[in-house]
């Protein structure tokens, strides 16, 4: 039984509610959100004119984010239903039908319901994963350029032009992350997506929401 199925099974005992996110996953999400917002503030506020001693907080929170990401990767691969977040052929078919429905005035077959996550959520997650991994990898390398209580700086492991490209990757990924975070917050605040936002606070969606928005075959509920 996958974690998705187990989550739903456990929630089936609570009438009318389907568990969507375990407490550990919600805590992870909000810790990561706090880290990303703090990192964005310490990175970009000095650039737009609010000068303060940003570097110490920035690298410390960056190390915390790196640890959180490492824990999340292990948890996603070992304990969670990894494939629930992977874009697949059914998502492509549903996406195509949705586009054809809009362009063809509703004459195309109706798209199927998604599993736990829809195709756009999966694509968004893939995009965020690429950006965050690029930021974490380049940021960890950049730690070699500063003195900390744990290590001494050693910038000579790479040539100047190599450091330049590492800073380019870090900078572009960080700016793209601003765009992605804006879009994420927008969807979280949309009334038609509020069930998902609530589930990230309280862990569950209602059974009616589950039946209305999700394919039982792709995100199975244990009807006990």
Partner 1 sequence: MELFRYSTSIYGGSDLLIGASWDLLPWFVAAGAAFIVLHALVKAVGSRRADQSH
Select from 60, 66, 43, 50 the least CA-distant residue to 171: 43
The alpha carbon of 15 is separated from its chain's Cα centroid by a whole number of angstroms, namely 29
Question: Does position 176 bind partner 1 by CB under 8 A?
Answer: yes
CB of 7 to partner 1, least distance (A): 29
From 28-36, 88-96, 179-187, 195-203, span contacting partner 1 (CB under 8 A): 179-187
Provide the 10 A C-beta neighbour count for residue 128: 18
Question: Does position 110 bind partner 1 by CB under 8 A?
Answer: no
Separation of alpha carbons 188 and 33, rounded Å: 13
CB of 197 to partner 1, least distance (A): 16
Question: Does position 51 bind partner 1 by CB under 8 A?
Answer: no
CB of 188 to partner 1, least distance (A): 12
In DSSP notation, 44-74 reads: HTTTTT-----HHHHHHHHHHHHHHHHHHHH
Question: Does position 164 bind partner 1 by CB under 8 A?
Answer: yes
Provide the 10 A C-beta neighbour count for residue 65: 21
Question: Does position 186 bind partner 1 by CB under 8 A?
Answer: yes
Question: Does position 188 bind partner 1 by CB under 8 A?
Answer: no
Question: Does position 124 bind partner 1 by CB under 8 A?
Answer: no
Separation of alpha carbons 213 and 94, rounded Å: 13
Question: Does position 53 bind partner 1 by CB under 8 A?
Answer: no
Q: Which of 77, 78, 150, 182 binds partner 1 (CB under 8 A)?
A: 182
For helices 89-103 and 119-142, give the axis angle rounded to 10 degrees. Answer: 120
CB of 122 to partner 1, least distance (A): 18
Q: Which of 28, 44, 87, 96 binds partner 1 (CB under 8 A)?
A: 44
Instruction: Please give the helix or strand (H or E) that residue 144 lies within, else none.
Output: none
Question: Does position 50 bind partner 1 by CB under 8 A?
Answer: no
Q: Which of 3, 144, 158, 180 binds partner 1 (CB under 8 A)?
A: 180
Structure tokens at 116: 């736990």
Select from 207, 209, 208 the least CA-distant residue to 222: 207
Cβ within 8 Å of residue 78, ≥6 positions away: none
Sites of contact with partner 1 (CB under 8 A): 44, 47-48, 160-161, 163-165, 167-168, 170-172, 175-176, 178-183, 186, 190, 192
């Amino acid at each position: 039984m996958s974690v998705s199925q187990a989550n739903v099974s456990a929630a089936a005992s609570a009438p009318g509610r389907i568990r969507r996110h375990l407490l550990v996953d919600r805590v992870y999400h909000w810790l990561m959100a706090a880290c990303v917002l703090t990192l964005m503030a310490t990175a970009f506020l000095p650039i737009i004119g609010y000068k303060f001693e940003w570097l110490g907080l920035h690298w410390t929170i960056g190390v915390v984010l790196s640890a959180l990401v490492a824990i999340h990767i292990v948890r996603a691969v070992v304990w969670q239903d990894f494939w629930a977040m992977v874009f697949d052929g059914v998502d492509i078919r549903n996406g195509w039908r949705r586009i054809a429905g809009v362009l063809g005035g509703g004459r195309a077959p109706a798209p199927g319901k998604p599993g736990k996550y829809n195709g756009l959520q999966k694509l968004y997650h893939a995009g965020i994963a690429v950006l965050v991994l690029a930021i974490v990898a380049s940021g960890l390398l950049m730690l070699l350029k500063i003195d900390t209580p744990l290590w001494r700086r050693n910038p000579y492991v790479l040539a100047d032009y190599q450091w330049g490209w590492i800073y380019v990757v870090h900078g572009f990924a960080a700016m793209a992350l601003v765009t992605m975070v804006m879009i994420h917050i927008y969807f979280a605040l949309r009334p038609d997506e509020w069930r998902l936002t609530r589930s990230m606070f309280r862990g569950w969606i209602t059974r009616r929401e589950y039946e209305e928005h999700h394919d039982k075959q792709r995100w199975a509920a244990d009807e006990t």
